[in-house]
Amino acid sequence: MQLYWQLKEMKNIKVGVIGVGYLGRFHAHKYAALEGVDLVGVADVDSRQCQQVAEECTCQSYTDYRELLPLVDALSIAVPTPYHHKVADECLELGIDVLLEKPMTVTLEEADDLIEKAEKKQLILQVGHLERFNPAVQAMEPFLTTPVFIESNRIATFKSRGTDVDVVLDLMIHDIDIILNIIQSPIKTIHTVGAPVATASTDIANARMIFENGATANVTVSRISRTNMRQMRIFQPGSYINVDFGNKKVMTIQLSEELRDSGMPKQVVELRTFADGDALLSEITSFVQHVRQRTKPAVSGIEGRRALAVALQVMDQIKEHQKLDLFQNFLHSQKP
């Protein structure tokens, strides 16, 4: 096995993309631009879209993804979430390394199945939590000490893509993953609110997560706003950090021992910008490196499952609250 991978490191890695809609198309373009990688083909049930992306990336197109599987070493899977488990399971069964878009699956049972299969076959299973590769997120990590409070807001204009799942799996799971990576402590309690507005599922939600070490994170998401905003503020003793995901900026505020006349410590403010960073290219480059070196991704199936577990807990709480509200409204309507 070791000799096999040593020989594999000497040749180009053959890759493909299954699902080339909005996000999968970008995956294909990134692979096509990488050295040491051969983009063999792309697959999608939409033959017109698939052919267009194949022409853009100079590769083959397939309407049946199974025809692509025998030709590749590794794949990105960017199909709708309900099909994640089915497609990834087939790929892993054939010994193909997988970069699976988030959320990794619909259920924890499906996630566990993929993790077990990848471990058994010694395959790479990376989950596409793209914000982990945002240069602003990576730049803030050296400034983290002991976070005690995190305020996160991810507000987006409405887009029809992504509405196959509710806003928690569509947007909030990004922030859940980042927060779980920042606060290395189990969650003690979660308090949630949420509501459907433009779709049949939850479109706006808030979750307050209290951790066993005493830290708290307050996360708000919406996909029905008139503007876009993706920001996180992290407060810790002696400093706080403001991360602007969208504009790729990190502001750090250090409190000095010297006091102002008001009694407030003086602040040392530094602003760093990373406009040239490409999170998706970094993510895909990292995946390819893990495929070559047979190393564990920072966002493996285990991290993907961890974020999914919290997201599902948030969703279940919101649904229970909505049922209770409907029941109470029904009882109120029955009063004389």
The CATH code of the domain that includes 30 is: 3.40.50.720
Instruction: List, in order, residues 6 or more apart from 25 with CB less than 8 Å away.
Output: 49, 53, 56
Are both 255 and 149 inside the same structural domain?
yes
Could you give the C-alpha distances from 57 to 32, 45, 74, 318, in angstroms and in order? 6, 18, 17, 42
Host H or E run for residue 61: strand 60-62
* Domain assignment present for 65: yes
Query: Pick the residue with more confidence: 20 or 158?
Result: 20
State mean pLDDT over 91-111: 97
Are both 145 and 273 inside the same structural domain?
yes
Are both 7 and 71 inside the same structural domain?
yes
Instruction: Tell me which DSSP letter residue 243 carries.
Output: E
* Domain assignment present for 19: yes
Are both 185 and 287 inside the same structural domain?
no
3-state DSSP of 252-300 = EEEEEEEECCCCCEEEEEEEEECCCCCHHHHHHHHHHHHHHHCCCCCCE
Instruction: Evaluate if residue 71 carries a pLDDT over 80.
Output: yes
Sheet of strand 265-273, all strands in order from the earlier edge strand to the far edge: 187-195, 204-211, 216-225, 149-157, 229-236, 239-244, 249-259, 265-273
Assign 177 to helix, strand or coil.
helix
* Domain assignment present for 167: yes
Percent of the chain with pLDDT over 70: 91
Instruction: Evaluate if residue 259 carries a pLDDT over 90.
Output: no
Rounded Cα–Cα distance for residues 116 and 159 (Å): 34
Q: pLDDT grade, residue 275 (50/70/90)?
A: confident
Which residue bears the tokens 């077990």?
Answer: 116
* Domain assignment present for 213: yes
* Domain assignment present for 245: yes
Range of the domain at 139: 132-277+312-319
Global pTM?
0.89
Task: Give the pLDDT confidence score for residue 331 in this predicted structure.
Answer: 40
Assign 190 to helix, strand or coil.
strand
Mean pLDDT of the chain: 91
For the ranges 28-32, 156-160, 277-281, the lowest mean pLDDT is seen at 156-160
Could you give the C-alpha distances from 80 to 145, 207, 263, 288, in angstroms and in order? 38, 25, 54, 23
Task: Give the pLDDT confidence score for residue 206 in this predicted structure.
Answer: 96
Q: pLDDT grade, residue 163 (50/70/90)?
A: low
Q: pLDDT grade, residue 4 (50/70/90)?
A: very low
The verdict on whether omega for the bond into residue 103 sits within 30 degrees of 0, i.e. cis, is yes
**In the chain, how many domains are there?**
2
Cα-flanking dihedrals φ and ψ of residue 329, to 5°? -65, -35
Are both 34 and 58 inside the same structural domain?
yes
Are both 220 and 108 inside the same structural domain?
no
* Domain assignment present for 324: no
State mean pLDDT over 141-145: 93
Are both 146 and 251 inside the same structural domain?
yes
Are both 249 and 115 inside the same structural domain?
no
Rounded Cα–Cα distance for residues 165 and 154 (Å): 16
> Are the CB atoms for 205 and 193 separated by under 8 Å?
yes
CATH value at residue 246? 3.30.360.10
Are both 147 and 223 inside the same structural domain?
yes
Q: Amino acid letter at 118?
A: A
For the ranges 46-50, 141-145, 230-234, 327-331, the lowest mean pLDDT is seen at 327-331
Token pair belonging to 6: 């040593």
* Domain assignment present for 306: no
Task: Give the pLDDT confidence score for residue 327 in this predicted structure.
Answer: 40
Are both 61 and 95 inside the same structural domain?
yes
Q: pLDDT grade, residue 293 (50/70/90)?
A: very high
Are both 165 and 117 inside the same structural domain?
no
Instruction: Tell me which DSSP letter residue 121 carries.
Output: T
Are both 109 and 216 inside the same structural domain?
no
For residue 150, give the nearest of 61, 279, 69, 242 by alpha carbon. 242
Rounded Cα–Cα distance for residues 10 and 67 (Å): 26
* Domain assignment present for 327: no
Instruction: Evaluate if residue 113 carries a pLDDT over 80.
Output: yes
